[in-house]
Amino acid sequence: MSEHARPLSPAHPPRSAWPWLPFALLVALLLATLYPSVAPAHTQIASTRLWPAKEYTRVTLEAASSIRYTVFSVPSPHRLVLDLEGVEPSPHLDALASKVTPEDPYVKAIRVGRFKPTVLRVVFDLKGEARAEVFALAPVGSYGHRLVLDIHPLKPIDPLMALVQQTEHQREAPGAAIETPEVDAEGARVVPISIDRSAAVPPRPSAAPAAQRPIVIVIDAGHGGEDPGAIGPLGTYEKEVTLAIARKLRELVNAEAGMRAILTRDDDYFVALGARVQKARRVQADLFVSIHADAFIRPHARGSSVFALSERGATSAAAQWLAKRENEADLIGGINLDVRDPYLKQTLLDLSQTATINDSLKLGRAVLSEIGEINTLHKNAVEQAGFAVLKAPDIPSILVETAFITNPYEERRLRDDAYQGKLASAVLAGVKRYLAANPPLARAPRIAQNAKSQQPR
């Protein structure tokens, strides 16, 4: 064995290995950067929900940890691309595609696929150009981390125009709706939807003076969408009961001469409390009635109650607790905190609000006494607390807790179609009694300014 061929002496290993160590580290680092697939995906989607509505369509992804994402839109055809980082493929996510219905006003289809080793891509094929709002929600109630994608029309749906069109529609030809195929951006036939032709008909001159506008009652079906409200022992959702009663009340109001009802939501989707107030103000409502169903930890709690806004404090601890619970609707339903809401932040009330609250109390008493004819009253007087949904400064507003959904007997009644009708009739009777004693006199012709000569009948 020659001197040169001799293996390295064990005394010198550090010297020969040393130059390789930083190189190996560098390569490992480089590999990790180039191929992040080495890092495992951690986020598991536990649930997905889709809430299509005329006003906007919401998509909710829920997970045990926060969801990292990027979002962008692609034109022709219009698509929204949501890239989820570090999210594992899941049947819940795949199921989202099957939740799209042809009736969805904005979403045509949803596709889910792996875009990069650690990125899942969710593509929303849209029916037209839309505006997307994406935001994360921290865990609240029974919900974990939520990622919310709201798809809005470029031009918001105007409830006032809806009222005007509805009124005109009834004058033109009752029930005249035609089936028209909707055509998408590429001119391809997508899905037939019912188009109200009267919407395109120019207003017909009317002999009615503009000042005789109908009395506009805004009916607010509590909760909706991500926010179920209280849940009864039989699994009844407050949001479903409130919508059913609100629709019945609308029917009754619209059957009255000179009265017109508008719902703050006419479907199962979330509407923020401030947005409900804004809708009522935009249509210059004369009255605002919010429909709810009460809940309590003890199942024997029962009876109806009516609430108005308070100037400061609440009339009882129970009323304060209830207002706090009802105001949590925004957190549970999922409000984008980046969007300013003037009504929720409104803390100081002015003089006009004091007058409005007095009217709200009168309205509340009239409604409470009518409801007392069909159900036990939880409290014999109208109570007051800081309900966010009652904060329109110029519209008498009440919140009706129709009955306790947590009481098995009252839950059964709340589910009953005939009883829902009785409740709606009682509310209308109260409204009419209030209006008879407090006619909306000396008002400027308000809706008439926007929709001259569009009076009903």
Of the candidates 248, 259, 168, 214, which has an alpha carbon nearest to the alpha carbon of residue 420?
Answer: 248
Cβ-Cβ contacts under 8 Å for 303 (sequence gap 6 or more): 375, 376, 377, 378, 379, 403, 404
Least Å from the CB of residue 223 to Zn ion: 6
Q: Where does this chain touch Zn ion (CB under 5 A) — which range of 36-44, 223-231, 260-268, 362-370?
A: 223-231
Q: Where does this chain touch Zn ion (CB under 5 A) — which range of 18-26, 102-110, 214-222, 437-445?
A: 214-222
Binding residue count for Zn ion, defined by CB under 5 A: 3
Least Å from the CB of residue 290 to Zn ion: 8
Least Å from the CB of residue 324 to Zn ion: 12
Cβ-Cβ contacts under 8 Å for 233 (sequence gap 6 or more): 299, 406, 408, 411
Least Å from the CB of residue 238 to Zn ion: 5
The tokens of 8 are what? 């390295």
Nearer to Zn ion, 310 or 406 (CB): 406
Nearer to Zn ion, 82 or 400 (CB): 400
CB 20 within 8 A of CB 71: no
Least Å from the CB of residue 140 to Zn ion: 16
Least Å from the CB of residue 390 to Zn ion: 13
Q: Where does this chain touch Zn ion (CB under 5 A) — which range of 141-149, 225-233, 340-348, 433-441?
A: 225-233
Nearer to Zn ion, 146 or 292 (CB): 292
Nearer to Zn ion, 169 or 248 (CB): 248
Give the whole-angstrom CA distance, residue 208 versus residue 210: 6
Least Å from the CB of residue 94 to Zn ion: 34
Nearer to Zn ion, 276 or 292 (CB): 292
Residue 228 binds to Zn ion (criterion: CB under 5 A): no
Nearer to Zn ion, 292 or 422 (CB): 292
Nearer to Zn ion, 47 or 327 (CB): 327
Site pattern 273..302 for Zn ion (x: CB under 5 A): -------------------x----------
Nearer to Zn ion, 259 or 329 (CB): 329
Nearer to Zn ion, 164 or 423 (CB): 423
Q: Where does this chain touch Zn ion (CB under 5 A) — which range of 138-146, 177-185, 216-224, 337-345?
A: 216-224
Nearer to Zn ion, 52 or 229 (CB): 229
Least Å from the CB of residue 194 to Zn ion: 32
Output the 3-class SS for the chain.
Answer: CCCCCCCCCCCCHHHHHCCHHHHHHHHHHHHHHHCHHHCCCCECEEEEEEECCCCCEEEEEEECCCCEEEEEEECCCCEEEEEEECECCCHHHHHHHHCCCCCCCCEEEEEEEEEECCEEEEEEEECCCEEEEEEEECCECCECEEEEEEEEECCCCCHHHHHHHHHHHHHHCCCCEEEEEEECCCCCEEEEEEEEHHHHCCCCCCCCCCCCCCEEEEEEECCECCECCCECCCCCEHHHHHHHHHHHHHHHHHCCCCEEEEECCCCCCCCCHHHHHHHHHHCCCCEEEEEEEECCCCCCCCCEEEEEECCCCCCCHHHHHHHHHHHCHHHHHCCCCCCCCHHHHCCCCCHHHHHHHHHHHHHHHHHHHHHCCCCCECCCCCEEECCHHHCCCCCCEEEEEEEECCCHHHHHHHHCHHHHHHHHHHHHHHHHHHHHHCCCCCCCCCHHHHCCCCCCC
Q: Where does this chain touch Zn ion (CB under 5 A) — which range of 81-89, 141-149, 152-160, 221-229?
A: 221-229
Give the whole-angstrom CA distance, residue 265 versus residue 218: 10
Least Å from the CB of residue 111 to Zn ion: 37
Site pattern 237..276 for Zn ion (x: CB under 5 A): ----------------------------------------
Q: Where does this chain touch Zn ion (CB under 5 A) — which range of 69-77, 226-234, 352-360, 438-446?
A: 226-234
Among the listed residues 52, 159, 222, 228, the single contact to Zn ion using CB under 5 A: 222
Among the listed residues 229, 232, 303, 393, the single contact to Zn ion using CB under 5 A: 229
Least Å from the CB of residue 387 to Zn ion: 10
Least Å from the CB of residue 332 to Zn ion: 11
Q: Note the residues at the interface with Zn ion (CB under 5 A).
A: 222, 229, 292
